């Protein structure tokens, strides 16, 4: 199969395939379908495997949500409760759609080491969905759970966002062209790198005020996973640029990033309002634009918002610094939870 052939799903088994590492490409290759993980091309995937499996966690291990349940009723303001519900609804959608989306994407990846990562990625998204279910079961009243899951039915802003993201994925399923595949990959990168983070910032901001600390601890586990997902799709985009330059289109990346940023700002201002202490519309906008610049830099691209040079949420730098040796109240548990010792001797490299 040449690199210019139209996309087709990988066969379950292809006896006439060629698994030679020197010939392999990340998509469009004539693979046998065998997971030969002793002969891999993409070293970054092997490294990511170690990190992702070492990050194993379960929502049942996060304690203290009953304290959040009390605070939800007695401490949070009406604005904070509304934001808590609406943001959870969007996060639930994002992880739900990724759980069903990633297996579709894997059917076109022809590198077994990358497919292995996507399998772990999909599993982690399912764990995230269970995490949100655990939060809802513990923190909010039963009559409020349906409202949170289906918030989009009565909120046109959230419905617009959900339809936009789902539409990108559905376009490729309906028409698996090179152009739609590239948009699909960029869409995954944007979802993992932009769409979650104002929601995460809200929970961190509450926790910085010693509110809903256990919910935020759960969010920290989820964010740690999401950052590995950002890395996966950044690397996939780099491989596409290298192996299939005719597919790679920086204009598409910038155009889709602009839409993602505009939608994220619009939604975040809508759901957060102006009465959340520590946030505010100006900070929300500048944080989203700063984050977009960071994600573009990860791809080796120039910033879109040259006047936005720093993260306006200084408390987020402290709360989200997973590599800090100083540690802090929120990240120490997250860092220590990683089961890295379980990985000794596995897939050595």
Give how many domains the chain has, as a whole number: 1
Alpha carbon distance 292, 327 (integer Å): 26
The pLDDT value recorded for residue 280 is 85
The answer to whether residue 13 is domain-embedded is no
**CATH number of 112's domain:** 1.10.620.20
Structure tokens at 41: 């091309």
Alpha carbon distance 134, 161 (integer Å): 25
Alpha carbon distance 297, 304 (integer Å): 10
Structural domain for 114, as ranges: 48-338
Concatenated DSSP letters of 249-287: -HHHHHHHHHHHHHHHHHHHHHHHTT-STT--HHHHHHH
For every one of its 349 residues, what pLDDT tens digit does the chain have, with 9 covering 90 and above? 444 446 889 999 999 999 999 999 999 999 998 988 988 999 999 999 999 999 999 998 899 999 999 999 999 999 999 999 999 999 999 999 999 999 999 999 999 999 999 999 999 999 999 999 999 999 999 989 999 999 999 999 999 999 999 999 999 999 999 999 999 999 999 999 999 999 999 999 999 999 999 999 999 999 999 999 999 999 999 999 999 999 999 999 999 999 999 999 999 999 998 888 888 899 999 999 999 999 999 999 999 999 999 999 877 666 655 433 333 333 333 333 333 333 333 333 3
Alpha carbon distance 204, 334 (integer Å): 14
The answer to whether residue 21 is domain-embedded is no
The answer to whether residue 22 is domain-embedded is no
Nearest partner of 152 among 140, 141, 142, 164, judged by Cα: 164
What amino acid positions are annotated as catalytic residues?
132
The answer to whether residue 19 is domain-embedded is no
The answer to whether residue 16 is domain-embedded is no
Residue 3 contacts residue 28 (beta carbons within 8 Å): yes
Residue 100 contacts residue 30 (beta carbons within 8 Å): no
The answer to whether residue 147 is domain-embedded is yes
The answer to whether residue 218 is domain-embedded is yes
The answer to whether residue 234 is domain-embedded is yes
């Amino acid at each position: 199969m040449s690199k210019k052939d139209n996309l087709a799903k990988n066969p379950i088994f292809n006896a006439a395939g060629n698994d030679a590492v020197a010939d392999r490409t990340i998509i469009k290759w004539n693979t046998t379908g065998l997971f030969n993980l002793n002969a891999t091309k993409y070293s970054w995937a092997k490294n990511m495997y170690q990190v992702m499996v070492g990050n194993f966690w379960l929502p049942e291990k996060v304690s203290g949500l009953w304290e959040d349940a009390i605070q939800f009723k007695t401490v949070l303001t009406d604005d904070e409760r509304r934001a808590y519900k609406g943001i959870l609804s969007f996060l639930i959608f994002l992880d739900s759609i990724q759980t069903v989306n990633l297996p579709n994407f894997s059917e076109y990846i022809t590198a077994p080491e990358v497919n292995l990562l996507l399998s772990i990625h999909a599993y982690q998204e399912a764990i995230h969905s269970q995490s949100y279910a655990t939060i809802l079961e513990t923190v909010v009243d039963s009559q409020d759970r349906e409202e949170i899951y289906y918030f989009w039915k009565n909120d046109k802003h959230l419905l617009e966002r959900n339809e936009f993201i789902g539409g990108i994925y559905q376009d490729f399923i309906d028409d698996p062209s090179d152009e739609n595949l590239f948009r699909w990959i960029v869409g995954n990168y944007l979802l993992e790198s932009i769409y979650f983070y104002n929601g995460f910032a809200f929970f961190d901001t509450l926790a910085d005020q010693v509110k809903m600390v256990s919910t935020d601890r759960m969010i920290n586990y989820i964010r740690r996973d999401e950052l590995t997902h950002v890395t996966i799709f950044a690397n996939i985009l780099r491989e596409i640029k290298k192996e299939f330059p005719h597919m790679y289109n920086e204009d598409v990346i910038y155009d889709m990033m602009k839409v993602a940023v505009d939608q994220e700002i619009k939604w975040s201002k809508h759901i957060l309002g102006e009465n959340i202490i520590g946030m505010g519309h100006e900070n929300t906008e500048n944080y989203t634009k700063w984050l977009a610049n960071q994600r573009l830099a990860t791809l080796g691209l120039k910033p879109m918002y040259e006047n936005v040079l720093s993260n306006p949420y200084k408390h987020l730098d402290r709360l989200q610094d997973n590599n800090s040796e100083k540690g802090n109240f929120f990240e120490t548990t997250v860092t220590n939870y990683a089961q890295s010792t379980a990985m000794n001797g596995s897939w050595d490299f």
